[in-house]
Chains A and B, each alone.
Chain A
Amino acid sequence: MPLLRVADMTHYFGGLRAVHQFNLSVEPGEIRGLIGPNGAGKTTIFNLITGIHTPTKGTVELEGRNLIGLQPHEIAASGLGRTFQNLLLWRHMSVMEHVKMAHYSQLSYGLVGALFGTPRRNREERQVEDNTLRLMEMFDVAKYADWIVGNLPYGAQRRVEMARAMATKPKVLFLDEPTAGMTPEELVQMIAIIRKVHRDFGVAIFLIEHRLKFVMELCQRIQTLVFGEVIADGTPDEIQNNPKVIEAYLGKEDIH
């Protein structure tokens, strides 16, 4: 059984068909890519699976459990962690607080603990803090622990976002253009980090990317999306030589 299964997912924004008959199955431990020109609907697919929008039609299942109709935070707690294309960080909070916050669903001390500072709260918050320190170490942001995120270098902000996503203990990690706006050196670092996450946590990864080099190097299977429809699905080699893919990309080049 696949870890994450999406079948026949279709979504309309009013009269506009944003996604048409999208199918996906992610196996445990797999790295999958989704590429496509601007406006193809890649981020919409992420938002549909993670519950920000509810698909008009179709099914989404994680380990056989239906996710459609759940609140975004319930979907996240059930094992879909994600990052955002344009870095949605909390601008008044420190790096440490970011990573701690993502443990929200793992806490059980409730309102009584929060209001009266019970021993149980202290115990649970200490565990969260240990785990936070470990994650910040892993993503090489421990030295910024008490910094407000806005003051961090761009690459570090990206790593904070990934550390935060990993703190939710995801089974599948969704990365929305993890290298957007990065220099070539940072890109190489990011590849290493994603490999490390994949190896150490054993999560399946589903990522959106623009840069073909990046996807070709990381992903085992790639889908190509154009105008909300998948036009090609296969290994990096197959995708690279698929005439439809070349046309979609070169066609876009022509316009410019």
Chain B
Amino acid sequence: MEATDVQADALPSKKHRIRAAFAQVPALGWILGILCTVFVERLWGDPLSYQLYLPKLPVLFGCLIMFKQPALIPSALAYVALIYVIPISAVALFSRKVTNLLAGQLSRLPLWVACLVHLGLFYLALHYWADLSDYRELVLKLTMIAVMLTLSINLINGYMGEFSCSHPGFMALGAYAASTVTLLFFANDRMFGEALLPTALGPWFFPLALIIGGFVASAGALIVAIPSFRTRGDYLAIISLAFMFMVKSFIENMEWIGGPRGMGSQPNWSTLPVVFAWMVICIWVINNFVRSIFGKALNAVRDNEIAADAMTVNTRKTKMTAFLLGAFWAGVAGGLFAHVMRFINPGTFGIQRLAEILAMVYFGGLNSVVGSIVGAVSINLISEMLRPLEIYKWIVIPLILILVMLYRPTGLIAFREFDIQKILQPKLDKD
């Protein structure tokens, strides 16, 4: 009797201790844990899945297997626990003294050095994780592109507080412009014939092609912005939706870029490091922007335009900047997307894509960079994991969205600042 009482008392405090120990793990510790787990999987992934009667190495945390063969659920869960959960937590926990020390050392260096070290290690983990299957690599690339799209639409729908629906249109403009540049100048293909410049130069000019794509999308945004900024709210939503359809039918009727048949055989230049680098640049630039006074002016315009005007804020310029910047990054993301899929057609940039983008931004959280990242990653991964459900996937994902909207109307992580320094700092004070 007494013994069980003592145990009951001891349990919560133990739980509390474990939680406190995890709270001391710095970002570096988690990255190290992920890195270790990736190597654990490379070493023992195949033999372990054989031992657990799994048909092959589970590519996406065992979800696909679980839906296809429910009998294998315990095996898949065991695999996830043994390969991912236990190694990550163990390494993160037991290395926390060392990683805190290292993070402390790094925090004394300039911020960008610390950032690069963390990002480099994180990229290494992603790279070796994706190395095991092409499917993983594709999912990762699409997720990173989704992060860029979500972040760029958050500028307009979150920070500026307008409801813009033209993002797939901007993405299409960027995708087609970037593809045209690469196919015309750097690739031999059916549509444009011989490359005008040596094909070996291609990868070096790829960033330029993406930036051109971004600027074309911005030019498109200018066309929407001029008439629609006289209106607000519902009207902007309708105008921007109309713009999306205009872009789609415009491309469908342009025979020289493939019309409704689409445009294919883009060179495979959107490799994992390239997409990762662009995503990091996108996050960095947008985070810089929204933390500056010019970016905060967006919030002021959203919350009260008259007050913003009276406080010397140039409201028109502010809105225009955000709109064009959002479109620019959507265009860049579109260009990357075209070179990942290596085939685009107008149908890709329709209402379905819009629904996905909106789901990601509203799920993750308005007015927050972290929210956008979380939203894009989770919706993208959930929709990949639910792929075996086929059409029913589109019942489950909206249901999740409805639940989020009910309990957190502005999204999971809304209205939060993304402070890199705070994330990277050591969590344990030296004593």
Contact = CB atoms under 8 A, between A and B. Distances in A.
B309 A89 contact: no
Contacts of A116: 285, 288
Interface in A32-65: 50-52
B297 interface: yes
A72 B310 contact: yes
B297 A115 contact: no
A73 B310 CA distance: 6
A92 B415 contact: yes
A102 interface: yes
Given A92-B299, A92-B367, A111-B321, A168 B311 contact: yes
Nearest to B306: A88
Specify the main secondary structure of chain B where it touches its partner: helix
Contacts of B285: 115-116
Contacts of B89: none
Given A93-B303, A109-B292, 20 more contacts: A52-B306, A52-B310, A72-B306, A73-B315, A81-B310, A84-B306, A89-B303, A89-B307, A91-B303, A92-B299, A92-B303, A93-B299, A100-B296, A101-B300, A104-B312, A107-B294, A114-B292, A121-B292, A125-B293, A164-B311
Given A73-B315, A90-B304, A104 B297 contact: yes
B214 to A, nearest CB: 13
Interface string B192-236: 000000000000000000000000000000000000000000000
B313 interface: yes
Interface in A59-101: 71-73, 76-77, 81-82, 84, 88-93, 97, 100-101
Interface residues of A, number: 40
B312 A168 contact: yes
A168 B308 CA distance: 11
A107 B312 CA distance: 11
Interface string A102-132: 1111010111011111000100010010000
B61 interface: no
B367 A104 contact: no
Interface of A: 50-52, 71-73, 76-77, 81-82, 84, 88-93, 97, 100-105, 107, 109-111, 113-117, 121, 125, 128, 164-165, 167-168
Interface string B363-381: 0000100000000000000
B314 interface: yes
A103 B307 contact: no
B299 A103 contact: no
A73 B297 CA distance: 12
B264 interface: no
B123 interface: no
Nearest to B287: A117
A104 B306 contact: no
B267 interface: no
A128 B293 contact: yes
Contacts of B307: 84, 88-90
28 contacts: A51-B309, A52-B310, A72-B310, A73-B308, A73-B313, A73-B314, A76-B309, A76-B312, A84-B310, A89-B307, A90-B304, A91-B303, A92-B415, A93-B299, A100-B296, A101-B293, A101-B296, A101-B300, A101-B308, A107-B293, A107-B294, A111-B321, A114-B293, A114-B295, A115-B288, A116-B285, A117-B288, A168-B312
Nearest to B367: A92
A97 B304 contact: no
Contacts of A110: 294
A100 B299 contact: no
B122 interface: no
Contacts of A128: 293
A127 B285 CA distance: 22
Contacts of B312: 73, 76-77, 102, 104-105, 168
B269 interface: no
Contacts of A72: 306, 309-310
Residue from B296, B306, B311, B325 having most chain A Cβ neighbours under 10 A = B311
B385 to A, nearest CB: 34
Contact of B313 (A84, A88, A101, A111): A101
Nearest to A161: B307
Nearest to A72: B309
A125 B292 contact: yes
Contact of A104 (B302, B303, B311, B325): B311
B369 to A, nearest CB: 14
B343 interface: no
A73 B294 CA distance: 14
B421 to A, nearest CB: 13
Nearest to B301: A90
Residue from B307, B309, B310 having most chain A Cβ neighbours under 10 A = B310
A10 B355 CA distance: 51
B289 interface: yes
Residue from B293, B297, B303 having most chain A Cβ neighbours under 10 A = B293
B242 to A, nearest CB: 29
A115 B214 CA distance: 15
CB-based closest 8 A-B pairs = A90-B303, A105-B312, A88-B307, A72-B309, A114-B292, A114-B294, A102-B311, A77-B312
A93 B304 CA distance: 11
B173 to A, nearest CB: 21
A131 to B, nearest CB: 12
Contacts of A167: 311
Residue from A89, A92, A114, A128 having most chain B Cβ neighbours under 10 A = A114
A103 B300 CA distance: 13
Given A90-B304, A92-B415, A71 B296 contact: no
B297 A101 contact: yes
Residue from A50, A90, A107 having most chain B Cβ neighbours under 10 A = A90
Given A114-B294, A125-B292, A71 B309 contact: yes
Nearest to B286: A115
B314 A113 contact: no
A50 B300 contact: no
Contacts of A115: 285, 288-289, 325
A128 B296 CA distance: 14
A115 B302 CA distance: 20
A90 B309 contact: no
B288 to A, nearest CB: 5
